[in-house]
Amino acid sequence: MRSAAVALLVALLAPAGAAASEPIRVGYLGPLSGIFAQVGKDMLDGLRIGLEQPPCPAGGRRIVLVEEDTQGNPAVAQAKYRKLVQQDRIDVMAGILLVHIGYGLAQPIAQDRMPSLFVTTPDDLTKRRPTRWIVRSSFSASQPMHALGDHAARHLRYRKVAAVAMDNGFGYEGIGGFQRVFEEQGGHVVQKLWVPLNVLDFAPFLSQVRRDADAVIAVFAGAQAVQFVRQYAQAGLKGKLPLLGAGVVVDEFALEAIGDDALGVVTALPWAPTLATPANQSFMALVETKVRRQPDGFHAFMYSAGRWICHAAGAVGGQVQDRERFLGALRAASESVPDPRGPIRLDEYGNPTQNIYIRRVERVGGRLQNVVVHTYPMVSQFWTYRPDEFLKSSPYDRGYPPVRP
């Protein structure tokens, strides 16, 4: 897909004469076609709005956004990344969706010393295989799911849960995080069904779901999430087995497409549209005006990335070519810039410690919304475990933790 360079209007707060002739180039890399295209477009919109929103104290320099489509393909992502670095000469990169693409880009990013803000959530990018040049603007895959496992056991009182999820790292780590905490609280994950990423017909999987479970936990995103929740209801499971999920299963774009079949679904995410904070209310009003619909988490996390880039560039007086200093400024901005999700503390691995919100889909003011029903304050990606002890344990994967029927 062709790349597009969009010059952004920014507030130039530096003294007169300080502006450099060269713009600051921000590279966006994400899926703009294929099954995850809507997610990629929401990510791009969030980043663009975050960069455009004043104040953007970029040290007197213009900001130019260069966008590239990964098509959800690792080989394409590698080629487009190389183009952004070598031809477009970007100063910072933002975006990235899908586990295999994130892991594949980690090494070239480290070699290029390219400051990068990732949305993709693979645990070990900020745990066992961290790259100091990558800062996560979202969360690690298991981070909110640890909290959801605790909530399912201690508040919802479920004892047996069946899992249906994407057959990739996001699915494995989300289910693994849920399972570990849920089972430590006395529950059992009695079944795991893994669905290939290109599948939109869930009937063969839904027919296998154990009917003796207390609930079902799901991890899907994009078009898969929409179709899964719809077909879950069509299969007659909605009224029999309560549905839990990763926050992206019923994000705000998915809710519009799913409709009332999403009512009652309980999820966990570090953000919710109903948060009554000044930063979130301003964000919601701004983005809804721009995109003409209710913003979702992908907008929020990439909006954060845009704001951090603006303020970090200002903190270094526009001298983003000093990459060590600029990287430090990005880390500092993540903690100092008011964020729609609430307070953030970036850990030494580059992942935000942040509130995790348990949300339930309800109809509010005539439209479906994820309403916060419980808050876990300042949750680490390591949950309540000591990081050194956690890192000695096996990574969450397709077979770990094992199913104990």
The pLDDT-based confidence of 6 (bands split at 50, 70, 90) is very low
3-state percent helix, strand, coil for the chain, nearest multiple of 5: 40, 20, 40
Question: With 90 as the cut, is the pLDDT of residue 14 above it?
Answer: no
Q: Cβ neighbours of residue 25 under 8 Å, at least 6 residues apart?
A: 64, 66, 88, 89, 90, 91, 92
Domain ranges of the chain: 4-139+275-350, 143-269+354-390
Answer CATH for 143-269+354-390 from 3.40.50.2300, 3.40.630.30, 3.40.640.10, 3.20.10.10: 3.40.50.2300
Phi/psi for 95 (5° steps) reads: 120, -130
DSSP strand pairing (352-364 vs 266-269): antiparallel
Question: How many residues does this entry show for the chain?
Answer: 405
CA angle 103, 394, 178 (to 5 degrees): 85
Question: With 50 as the cut, is the pLDDT of residue 19 above it?
Answer: no
CA nearest neighbour of 379 among 342, 334, 404: 342
In 145-251 the beta strands, taken as DSSP E runs, fall at: 160-166, 188-195, 215-219, 243-246
Instruction: Please tell me which residue, 7 or 366, carries the higher pLDDT value.
Output: 366
Long-range Cβ contact pairs of 226-229 (< 8 A, separation 24 or more): 226/254, 226/257, 226/258, 227/200, 227/201, 227/202, 228/164, 228/195, 228/202, 229/254, 229/258, 229/261, 229/262, 229/265
pLDDT, one tens digit per residue, over 81-114 is 999 999 999 999 999 999 999 999 999 999 999 9
Q: What is the pLDDT of residue 25?
A: 98
In angstroms, rounded to a whole number, what is the distance separating the alpha carbons of residues 193 and 218? Answer: 10
For the chain, what is the mean pLDDT? 94
C-beta of residue 296 within 8 angstroms of C-beta of residue 370: no
CA 6 to each of CA 20, 66, 341, 350: distance values in angstroms, whole numbers, following the listed order: 18, 7, 27, 28
The pLDDT-based confidence of 18 (bands split at 50, 70, 90) is very low
DSSP label of 34: S
pLDDT (average), residues 306-321: 97
Q: Cβ neighbours of residue 255 under 8 Å, at least 6 residues apart?
A: 262, 294, 361, 368, 369, 370
Answer CATH for 4-139+275-350 from 3.40.50.10420, 3.90.1170.50, 3.40.50.2000, 3.40.50.2300: 3.40.50.2300
The pLDDT-based confidence of 5 (bands split at 50, 70, 90) is very low
Query: Where is average pLDDT lowest: 19-28, 130-139, 196-205?
Result: 19-28
pLDDT (average), residues 216-240: 96
Question: With 50 as the cut, is the pLDDT of residue 4 above it?
Answer: no
pLDDT, one tens digit per residue, over 252-267 is 989 999 999 999 999 9
pTM (predicted TM-score): 0.93
List the beta bridge partners of residue 345.
353
pLDDT (average), residues 308-337: 97
Say what percent of the chain tops pLDDT 90.
Answer: 90
- What is the enclosing helix (H) or strand (E) of 206? helix 203-206
Radius of gyration of the chain (CA): 20
Question: With 80 as the cut, is the pLDDT of residue 34 above it?
Answer: yes
CA dihedral (193, 198, 202, 204) positive or negative = negative
Q: What is the pLDDT of residue 3?
A: 44
CA dihedral (305, 275, 269, 127) positive or negative = positive
CA terminus-to-terminus distance, the chain: 47
Helix (H, G, I), strand (E, B) or coil at 55: coil
* Topology agreement, domain 4-139+275-350 and domain 143-269+354-390: yes
Instruction: Please tell me which residue, 239 or 48, carries the higher pLDDT value.
Output: 48
Return the number of other C-beta atoms located less than 10 Å from residue 89's C-beta. 11
